[in-house]
Amino acid sequence: MKCVNLPEIMTAKVISICNLKGGVGKTTIVMALAEYLAGDTMYKKRVLAIDLDPQSNLTSALMSEEIWEKKFESKKLTLPYLFKDPEYFLENVKNENFIVKHNVSNVRNGNSFAHLHLIPSSPRLFEI
């Protein structure tokens, strides 16, 4: 019998920040935590932030409105469109097109965190 060492399997950690009351700092905590974990700290983790708020405050905090409009909202690559017709997107659109990988975080003045990604929201999420 041969003994095989399997590589350590990495699993994704999910951190969810929820509260029904508005104005308690959910978006601020998510943004700070995401930037901290993906930044130049000892962690340097790959972080995917998903903005599930129709107010889209996390989206507008992490990317410029110009990039959001030109590259995502106008091409219907924001969360509401994915929710409205998931079959279409699973069959016809690359899943990665929904994920913002560059120019994420306005904290760095144009230099995005290499490991911080975002699935942007839109006020159209109110329609769902």
Q: Within a domain: residue 11?
A: no
Residue 53 gets the label, from left (phi > 0), alpha (psi -120 to 50) or beta, of: beta
Q: Within a domain: residue 119?
A: yes
> How far apart (Å, rounded) are the C-alpha atoms in residues 126 and 53?
9
Longest dimension (CA), the chain: 61
pLDDT (tens digit, 9 = 90+) per residue, 19-65?
Answer: 999 999 999 999 999 888 888 777 778 888 999 999 999 999 888 88
Residues of the chain with pLDDT > 70, as a percent, come to 81
Q: Within a domain: residue 3?
A: no
- Count other Cβ atoms within 10 Å, centred on residue 112: 20
Q: How many folded domains does the chain comprise?
A: 1
> How far apart (Å, rounded) are the C-alpha atoms in residues 31 and 126?
22
pLDDT (tens digit, 9 = 90+) per residue, 54-95?
Answer: 999 999 988 888 888 998 899 888 999 888 888 877 776 666
Domain containing 55: what range?
Answer: 26-127
Q: Are 49 and 58 spatial neighbours (Cβ–Cβ below 8 Å)?
A: yes
Q: Within a domain: residue 82?
A: yes
Tokens of 81: 């469109």
Q: Within a domain: residue 111?
A: yes
